[in-house]
């Protein structure tokens, strides 16, 4: 059973990292679920402090993911249309990877610009607001990615520390 929990936890870690970029998946909470599954194994002693602190961080980052893009948009004079355009641009980049890895940078900006222009902003205001929305998106994505990577590191370090208990047949 421990191996199943370990594998499911690792899969949650990978999905959590993907969730840092995909708006439909809450990256850090899914990564935290991977940590929880690891600590539910019989081989690893429960550490409720680690789980509690990492859960609180996952929830804070999850909430900030909604606040940061709005702050970036407001700071640069944008509207909700810019934030929606950024999200649509990200989805376009994921569904149609025409520009390769640069698409994840280009399309959200283009989406924010189109959203602002459709909201009847002039080109200069729309460009400035699109930049703010895009900057907020990048900041939130970077924060989610870093937390998910740190959780993956914690997962691997903990599993490695207790490898003889997790894999007793390989000693």
pLDDT of 123-163, one tens digit each? 888 888 778 877 887 888 899 999 999 999 999 999 999 98
pLDDT of 59-106, one tens digit each? 999 888 877 777 777 788 777 888 788 788 878 877 777 766 677 778
CA distances from 79 to 6, 41, 58, 114 (A): 44, 47, 27, 12
Residue 171: what pLDDT? 61
Could you tell me if 70 and 122 are in contact, meaning their C-beta atoms sit under 8 angstroms apart? no
- How many beta carbons lie within 10 A of that of residue 29, not counting itself? 19
pLDDT at residue 32 above 70?
Answer: yes
Residue 101: what pLDDT? 66
User: Which residue in 117, 60, 56, 62 sits closest to 84, CA to CA?
Assistant: 117
The predicted model scores a pTM of: 0.80
């Amino acid at each position: 059973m421990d191996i199943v929990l370990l594998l499911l936890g690792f899969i949650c870690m990978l999905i959590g990292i993907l969730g840092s970029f995909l708006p439909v998946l809450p990256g850090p909470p899914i990564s935290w679920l991977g940590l929880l599954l690891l600590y539910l194994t019989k081989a690893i002693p429960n550490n409720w402090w680690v789980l509690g602190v990492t859960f609180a961080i996952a929830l804070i980052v999850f909430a900030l993911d909604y606040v940061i893009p709005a702050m970036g948009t407001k700071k640069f004079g944008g509207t909700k249309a810019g934030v929606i355009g950024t999200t649509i641009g990200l989805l376009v980049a994921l569904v149609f990877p025409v520009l390769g890895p640069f698409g994840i940078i280009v399309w959200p900006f283009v989406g924010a610009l189109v959203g602002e222009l459709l909201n009847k902003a002039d080109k200069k205001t729309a460009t400035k607001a699109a930049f703010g929305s895009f900057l907020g998106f990048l900041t939130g994505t970077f924060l989610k990615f870093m937390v998910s990577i740190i959780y993956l590191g914690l997962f691997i370090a903990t599993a490695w520390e207790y490898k003889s208990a997790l894999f007793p047949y390989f000693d």
